[in-house]
Structure 1
Amino acid sequence: MAGRWMDFGQYGAKGAPGAEALGTAIESMVTGIASPVDSERGLAARLRYLTATDAGYEAMDRAGIHVSPRTLMAWLAEERSPNRANLGRLDAAYWDLRRRNVAADLKRRLHNDGRGTRVEINPVNQSAVDRKHQRDLSSRSVNVRDLDLWDRAVDAWMDDDLEELDAVWDEIIEDLGSDYDAYSNVSSIGWAA
């Protein structure tokens, strides 16, 4: 398991576990409707997206939206507006469905036709750490070509499985050689996929 810095942050280093950074980087690849849910445009777009397929109705059910078909039709026709609680649920349902719909595309993009994806790893921020306690760290990069690893990462992200993301992160940083443990916590990671 990554995170062998038992007292991480004790001397003022700032960063996050690699597993969290991995999940954040995957999440940043998910784009969607920019208009807020409480705007006419944002609400209409979310409702159209959610009511276009059975999966959208399932997402609304998971989010706790239990309204009559008549109420839903009134929302779609813009005759009535959802209350604040249902607006929040509609937004949650939209992003849940969006994540599910883009998961396969994320895997394809990260696989990169079998070439994998180069991951840029930025070490923890040690600017607040006294010089005598600082570690000699620099940004590193590794090309993750193991397609199964990307599948596992996206699936773990979808399931909010931080333990599996941590196991995936461990396998990614092993390619850094003997210095890999210094990157169990990072300030950020990124890639162009």
Structure 2
Amino acid sequence: MAGRWMDFGHFGARGAPGCEALGIALEKMVTGISSPVDSDRGLAARLRYLTASDAGYEAMDRAGVHVRPRQLMAWLAEEVKPRKDNLARLDAAYWDLRRRNVAADLKRRLHNGGRGTRVEINPVDQSRVKRRHQRDLSSRSVNVRDLGIWDRAVDAWMEEDLHELDAIWEQICQDHLGTDWEAYAYVSSIGWAA
């Protein structure tokens, strides 16, 4: 969705495509273990989370963690620490599983019992753009009540489908920003209190 920003950044504006900002805002809603994976506490917490369900073992498999049960038991008992490459894979598996587990909760939170979610849209940073080339843009706040759009957005985010996120962002802008919608194809950030 290039809109009227045919050559974005040519005059010095800074920002990101709205679809990327939407994905980043969704990603920020995923919280988890704050201890690093290479700390004893962080590793133990990730291993407990991953070995608590079949979904955790599937996440480890997707991340390339292929060890014998005996090795996994040694990790769980803290007798042996995984190699650096396996630590990275365990961390990736953990965050993959967290994202999958919170997807349904994200949809519920964004639906907000049918009330939707208020989205704060911060326009591109034009501080480096000469005055004559600046657009008259301000932060916008819109309430997105279209519940189907939140399901689509979370699904696209999970699948890392930027094309679908772009279509969703365009729909949000067209439905809520009126004729000025193309000016928000690129933004500094978006956020919400969901």
TM-score with structure 1 setting the length: 0.99
Query: How far apart, in 1, do the equivalents of 2:104 and 2:71 lie?
Result: 33
Q: Which residue of 2 aligns with 1:188?
A: 189
In structure 1, the residue corresponding to 2:34 is in which secondary structure? coil
List alignment gaps of at least 5 residues for structure 1: none
Instruction: Compute the displacement of 1:123 (Å).
Output: 0.3
Q: Which residue of 2 aligns with 1:95?
A: 95
In structure 1, the residue corresponding to 2:163 is in which secondary structure? helix
In structure 2, the residue corresponding to 1:9 is in which secondary structure? coil
Query: How far apart, in 2, do the equivalents of 1:179 and 1:83 lie?
Result: 53
Q: Which residue of 2 aligns with 1:163?
A: 163
List alignment gaps of at least 5 residues for structure 2: none
Q: Which residue of 1 aligns with 2:110?
A: 110
Residue deviations 1:16-45 (CA, integer Å, cap 9, x gap): 000000000000000000000000000000
Instruction: Compute the displacement of 1:141 (Å).
Output: 1.2
In structure 2, the residue corresponding to 1:25 is in which secondary structure? helix
Instruction: Compute the displacement of 1:88 (Å).
Output: 0.1
Query: How far apart, in 1, do the equivalents of 2:79 and 2:105 lie?
Result: 36
Query: How far apart, in 2, do the equivalents of 1:39 and 1:138 lie?
Result: 44
Within 5 Å, which residues of 2 pair with 1:10-21? 10-21=10-21
Q: Tell whether 2:48 aligns with 1:44.
A: no
Q: Which residue of 1 aligns with 2:2?
A: 3
- Figure out how many residues of one structure are paired with residues of the other and give that number: 192
Matched residues, percent identical? Answer: 78
Query: How far apart, in 1, do the equivalents of 2:44 and 2:57 lie?
Result: 15
Q: Which amino acid aligns with 1:128?
A: R
Residue deviations 1:139-169 (CA, integer Å, cap 9, x gap): 0111110110000000000000000000000
Query: How far apart, in 2, do the equivalents of 1:41 and 1:156 lie?
Result: 33
Instruction: Compute the displacement of 1:191 (Å).
Output: 0.4
Instruction: Compute the displacement of 1:6 (Å).
Output: 1.3
Query: How far apart, in 2, do the equivalents of 1:116 and 1:137 lie?
Result: 25
Query: How far apart, in 1, do the equivalents of 2:137 and 2:183 lie?
Result: 8
Q: Which runs of 4+ in 1 moved over 4 A?
A: none
Q: Which amino acid aligns with 1:188?
A: S
